[in-house]
């Protein structure tokens, strides 16, 4: 086998390994809590499940997160994609329709993958937060 073919083979193999790592690897993971405002299926060719969650941070008079003293609230909408899991989607839809707050577990991908969703954040778990 010629040296050129070996070099091309190594480059192709490294490219495949890099793409596999980007597809299946996670940059980070964590939790976010809030109230769901949207759960939808989107896409023309690749149908993906997308969601939006309202998160609010209470700030004090010095502009730092903390105890509410009537000074303000920072509104934030978090956009995420949902793992293709019917049970998970059903839980999210139920929480949305019943107005429950939720805690979502997500993985942050390196890139947006169009066949996974419109966001780098892919939700793979949900916990309904019970009212006290």
Helix (H) or strand (E) holding 123: strand 121-129
If you average pLDDT over each of 17-26, 72-81, 86-95, which comes out highest?
86-95
Tokens of 33: 């809590």
The answer, yes or no, to whether residue 41 has pLDDT greater than 80, is yes
More confident site: 35 or 22? 35
| Domain coverage including residue 56 | 3-129
The reported pLDDT for the residue numbered 111 is 77
| Overall domain count for the chain | 1
pTM: 0.74
CA distances to 6, 7, 8, 16 from 2, in Å: 7, 9, 10, 21
Q: How many Å apart are CA 118 and CA 78, to the nearest integer?
A: 12
Strand partners, 77: 54
Q: What is the CATH number of the domain that holds 60?
A: 2.40.50.140
Distance (Å, whole) CA 22 – CA 19: 5
Q: Region 111-131: what's the mean pLDDT?
A: 86
């Amino acid at each position: 086998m010629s040296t050129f073919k070996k070099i091309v083979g190594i480059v192709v193999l490294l490219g495949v390994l890099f793409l596999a790592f980007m597809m299946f690897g996670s940059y980070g993971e964590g939790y976010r809590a809030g109230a769901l405002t949207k759960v939808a299926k989107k896409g023309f060719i690749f149908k993906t499940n997308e969601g939006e969650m309202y998160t609010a941070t209470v700030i004090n008079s010095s502009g730092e997160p903390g105890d509410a003293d009537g000074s303000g609230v920072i509104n934030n909408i978090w956009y995420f994609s949902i793992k293709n899991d019917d049970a998970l989607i059903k839980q999210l839809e139920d929480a949305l329709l019943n107005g429950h707050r939720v805690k979502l577990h997500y993985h942050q991908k390196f890139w947006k993958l169009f066949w996974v969703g419109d966001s780098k954040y892919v939700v793979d778990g949900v916990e309904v937060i019970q009212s006290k």
